[in-house]
Structure 1
Amino acid sequence: MSRYRGPRLRITRRLGELPGLTRKSARRAYPPGQHGQNRKKRSEYAVRLEEKQKLRFNYGLSESQLLRYVRKARRVTGSTGQVLLQLLEMRLDNTTFRLGLAPTIPAARQLVNHGHITVNSKVVNIASYQCRPGEVISIINRDKSRQMVETNLQYPGLANLPSHLEFDKNKLEGKINSVIEREWVALQINELLVVEYYSRMA
């Protein structure tokens, strides 16, 4: 399955608030579709599937990408669910979004792909690049790039900067001080259900 490029509000109506996917909120509080208002009781599989879909759509991953992250998280010591969230949160596109340089993760991915973002003064155009503590994220020294980011900073996607990041608005420069802690993950999700969903295939 490739990355989702359809209507985003339809997804947020079905799965709930996804801060990385869109800043818009749905006017209708029930899921889309003919039977959105009178859904039957969901099975355990449906609950796990929904949590997995939240993760996939919020971070803009394909099914195979998410499966790779789950397998990678399993090889690391510690809670698989927490390691999985840390791997996703430390991606360059998500870090760019959390610094406020872009209003959503898809917008941050575009900034990265188009060569506007530098890591330790080198242009990195791979959205899935894993950021590490000590690295400095900044904007390439081009007027167009800086103007774009300055506009985005006026309307950040999330108001609070996570504790593992620091940002200098004058230099348009962010620094990663540590790996993100679980409490600063903005997405409301039960990561254990995602691990359980993949337990048969990962």
Structure 2
Amino acid sequence: MAKYTGPVCRLCRREGAKLYLKGDRCYSDKCSFTGRSFAPGQHGAGQTRKKVSEYGIQLREKQKTRRIYGVLERQFRNYFEKAERQKGITGVNLLVMLERRLDNVVYRIGLAESRNQARQLVRHGLINVNGRRVDIPSFLVKADSVVAVREESKESPIMKKIAESLGHKQAPAWIELTAADMSGKVTRYPTREEIDIPIQEHLIVELYSR
């Protein structure tokens, strides 16, 4: 399945929920989802929602999760299969794995305004993990790893802008933020309660268990 390249706000309307794909803009009055939460479609056709089947509900939950984290279909299936093989609750294992993606960790630290921007920073080689450059957004960050902006990248205009606001941001409990160094340490993996996305992961497990 090809990567979606259209307007990201359309995805929020399709899922009927804010996916926070534009970072800070999604929390402001400029968010286009506000007042237009109906599904997209010509001539207002998307404003009437049909009754959704149980399978449809499960599918939408999976699609919503994929879009929040920016993961392709095959990648997502691979994550689920790995989560299924691990000890513990499969749905929670899946979400923890998605949270460990490097692009997500960069976003959680506050080094990017959105996960999409975080992916771009990683791909362009602006991020180090434990002192080594990593340019793979799907790289899974381990506990006790330090994720930071490369020293030579701190002078770029985009990183200077982020640095100005970094001191006012608060990282989640499982990340230790050092704003002065533009870095964050993953002290442990997050618990389910600390993953603040509007997802019912058991529906995804039910979908793949069919």
| Number of equivalent positions | 197
Q: Which letter maps to 2:185?
A: K
Which residue of 108, 113, 118 maps to 2:128?
118
List per-residue Cα deviations over 1:58-84 (Å, max 9, x = no partner). Answer: 111110000000000000011000000
Instruction: Please report how far the alpha carbon of residue 40 of structure 1 lies from its aligned counterpart in structure 2 after TM superposition.
Output: 1.9
Gaps of 5+ in 2: none
* Matching residue of 2:11: 11
Q: Relative to structure 1, is the Cα distance of residues 102 and 57 closer, same or farther in structure 2, using a 3 angstrom cutoff?
A: same
What is the CA RMSD across the aligned residues, in angstroms?
1.7
Deviation >6 Å, runs of 4+: none
Q: Residue 141 of structure 2 aligns to which amino acid in structure 1?
A: C
| TM-score normalised over the length of structure 1 | 0.91
Q: In the TM superposition, what are the counterparts of 1:1-202 in structure 2 within 5 Å?
A: 1-15=1-15, 16-19=17-20, 21-23=21-23, 24=26, 25=31, 26-27=33-34, 28-33=36-41, 34-143=44-153, 147-154=157-164, 160-200=170-210
TM-score (norm 2): 0.88
The share of aligned pairs that are identical, in percent, is 40
Report the Cα distance in structure 1 between the residues aligned to 2:103 and 2:145, rounded to whole angstroms: 14
Partners of 2:187 and 2:136 lie apart in 1 by 21
Query: Deviation per CA, 1:108-152, whole angstroms, max 9, x where unpaired?
Result: 011011110001110011111111111111111115556422413
Query: Which structure is higher in helix share?
Result: 2
Q: Map Cα deviations across residues 143-174 of structure 1 (whole Å, 9 max, x no partner).
A: 55564224135567xx5421100111111111
List alignment gaps of at least 5 residues for structure 1: none
Task: State the AA in 1 paired with 2:111.
Answer: L
